[in-house]
Amino acid sequence: MQYREIGTSGLRASAVALGTWAIGGGQWWGESDDTQSIDAIQSAIDHGITLIDTAPIYGWGRSEEVVGRAIKGRRDKVILATKCGIWFQDGRGSSWFDMEGHDVRRSLRPDTIRIEIEQSLQRLDTDYIDLYQTHWPAIAPDLTPIADSMGCLLELQQAGKIRAIGVSNATPAQMDEYLALGAIASNQPRYSMLTRDIEADLVPYTMAHHISILAYSPLEQGLLTGKIGMDYILQPGSWRNNIPWFQPNNRQRVLDLLARWADLTETYACTMSQLVIAWTIQQPGITFALCGARRPEQAAENAGAGQVTISDIDLARMRYDLDQLGTPMGKE
């Protein structure tokens, strides 16, 4: 496994991280077995993964609770990351969407952040969060100034409740505002072989400012594992319906691309998932890849990617193939 520093925080964590969105289950991900999820988390730790990322919105607190149970007695073995800013407890913040009877809002008000940190500490059964991230920027009409949100986060850091501050889905301009007030260690944007928009502006910015990128959805919700074939049927309400690459005509193009890399999995004695994850963490500025797992064998497989090093020639070949693939058909 490769281990890297999160920004300039002094915190070191595995380049292959465990993302726990799917562990929360619910409408986005369907049924989830908590016992199996705990086994998956413990398997990840056993195989060298130390960075575990979660959030209150994942299963309305369920993911955090499961993570807390899984790391009990092993808290010192992990770098624990969670988030604030997606609020579903009352009318504070700005309305975003409705789901499963919840009015989901975006709020980075200091009062809601203080409530969220205490609830997360309780669910995770810990005294501190290693990396505390704003999940999404605030939006109008309850557009909390970044100075107010960051001021609250700095107070929590001074109180010892969080060790490092991170952001998610934040633009360079928004990060400028954060950095004017204090250090941020990371930004968590969406990034994969198929979704590389951030290479244009966000990656150069974070590299210049020594901010780590925690890439989420690096396997495109499983599509880049090569295990989701043309016979896979998208279920109503599934998050995968929002991804154009899952539509049949686009999916076939991706599967054809992966098939052309079969020789590379032989060269590196790895699975397709491991090849894709290894490619991701070898991209300039991509410090960590957040990979989901709900079964122990999935966690172990993901961890194995941390031992794969792709040659410059093969990295260039894969990049060329991806450039030829282009964008999904039907995308505006």
Query: Residues 132-168, buried b or exposed e (16+ Cβ, 10 A)?
Result: bbbbbbbbeebebebeebbebbeebbeeebbbbbbbb
The C-alpha atoms of residue 310 and residue 296 are separated, in whole angstroms, by: 25
Q: Which of 58, 132, 205, 216 is catalytic?
A: 58
Active site residue 58: yes
- Side-chain-facing half-sphere of 93: CA atoms under 13 Å: 25
Q: Is the separation of the CB atoms in 82 and 68 below 8 Å?
A: no
In the numeric block, the tokens 């030829």 are attached to 324
The C-alpha atoms of residue 185 and residue 155 are separated, in whole angstroms, by: 16
Inter-residue long-range contacts of 100-106, CB under 8 Å, 24+ positions, other chains counted: 100/26, 100/27, 100/60, 102/60, 104/57, 105/142, 106/136, 106/137, 106/138, 106/139, 106/142
**Residue positions annotated with a catalytic role:** 58
